[in-house]
Structure 1
Amino acid sequence: MKAFILQFLLLLCISFIGVTPAMAANLSGDLLKQPATKITVNLGNTANELKFEPNHLELEAGKRYQIHLANPSQLKHYFTAKDFADGIWTQKVEVGKVEIKGAIHELELKPGGEADWVFVPLKSGDYSLRCSITGHTEAGMTGEILVSN
């Protein structure tokens, strides 16, 4: 029953953002059984440079991803990509022994912080990524997320 409800909600969500019928069928099938492609993104580095490593991500709509976010710097940073977040289905964000579900638009990672974001891009596009802390974007802590069909 839980799987049916999840599939129904997923189909309802994707109907509002213009996903093709073929993509919708793929997403509603065995989405949660699909292995997630793992990508690590560092927010800053041990030298406290204001940058994302890597700062360019290429994803495919309809595929399941797990982005491991890590902050090895001594400063807090944000992973902000609102337009991207509006075009994905988030399965969960996992931090320690806590899972957060629902719409996510921004994650704050304190020094040494780590989080795993599991999601499926539903909408293709070129999305901007930035750290929204005052001065960080201006110093070059930006990136892009490209989602193709």
Structure 2
Amino acid sequence: MEIKQKGIYLIGSALVTIGLLAGCGSSEESAPEKDKPVEEPKQQQKEETEQQKDKPIASEESKNDNVIKISAFEMGYTPPSVTLEEGKEYTLVLKNNGKIFHDLTAKKLDVKITHMGKMPDHPEKMSFSDEIDKILGLNKVHASGSHDDGHGEEENYIHMNARSGQTVKIKFIPQETGEFKFFCSVPGHEEAGMHGGIEIE
């Protein structure tokens, strides 16, 4: 009996020892997994550093500050006013969100035009009431007429034309400080409230 109990005791002890060794072995095998989370943040930092390299540098982002977007509609502009700096080059983008032809003119502001995008000619002259009829779908015959489109090569002021849905742009450098008005030169539009302001600092 004693021998039998000693045998069971030895077998039990052996099983406990094997279990402990197996437990230690599994903890040693899992040890590298515990190390992995330490390595992952390093990998994440490396990826974040590479992503930052792909981002534009501040000077490239600041170029977007020089893009002024103005939307024309019946009868106004959004935004109605802008503030610029003298001697700094700007890209002025005019989008006509209205249903009829509009322009943006600032004749009293002295600027140096550095780029003039392609723009349509003004349509035949028509009165403001004729344009309202056009919006309402009433057809009328219009007399043809000429219009000085203000796009001469020596131009030193802003004048942009856009058909309905069209986007046009110019680049220019303001040559003086002060407050100036811009407006739509199509007959009747300025009088109907289609004007805004440019402040040059």
Q: Tell me the TM-score range normalised by the shorter chain.
A: 0.5 to 0.7
Q: Pick from 97, 112, 115 the counterpart of residue 89 of structure 1.
A: 112
Q: Distance in 2 between matches of 1:145 and 1:102?
A: 22
Q: Distance in 1 between matches of 2:115 and 2:193?
A: 28
How far did residue 144 of structure 1 move? 0.7
Q: Please list every run of 5 or more consecutive structure 2 residues that lacks an aligned counterpart in the other structure.
A: 1-61, 120-151
Q: Distance in 2 between matches of 1:102 and 1:134?
A: 25
1:124 corresponds to which residue? 177
Q: Which protein has the bigger strand share? A: 1
Quick check: 2:96–2:165 contact (8 Å CA) kept in 1? yes
Q: Please list every run of 5 or more consecutive structure 1 residues that lacks an aligned counterpart in the other structure.
A: 1-33
| TM-score with structure 1 setting the length | 0.64
1:68 is the counterpart of 2:93: yes
Quick check: 2:93–2:170 contact (8 Å CA) kept in 1? yes
The amino acid of 1:63's aligned partner reads: K
Q: Distance in 2 between matches of 1:112 and 1:71?
A: 5
CA shift digits 1:53-98 (9 cap, x unpaired): 11101000011111111101111011111011xx1111012238xx
Superposed CA RMSD: 2.2
CA shift digits 1:88-124 (9 cap, x unpaired): 111012238xxx9641542221111211111111111
Q: The residue matched to 2:108 in structure 1 has which SS?
A: helix
CA shift digits 1:25-56 (9 cap, x unpaired): xxxxxxxxx94601100111xxxx31011110
The amino acid of 2:161's aligned partner reads: E
Q: Pick from 175, 187, 199 the counterpart of residue 134 of structure 1.
A: 187
Quick check: 2:111–2:158 contact (8 Å CA) kept in 1? no
Q: Which protein has the bigger helix share? A: 2
Q: Distance in 1 between matches of 2:158 and 2:83?
A: 19
Quick check: 1:93–1:101 contact (8 Å CA) kept in 2? no
Identity of aligned residues (%): 26
Q: Distance in 2 between matches of 1:69 and 1:115?
A: 5
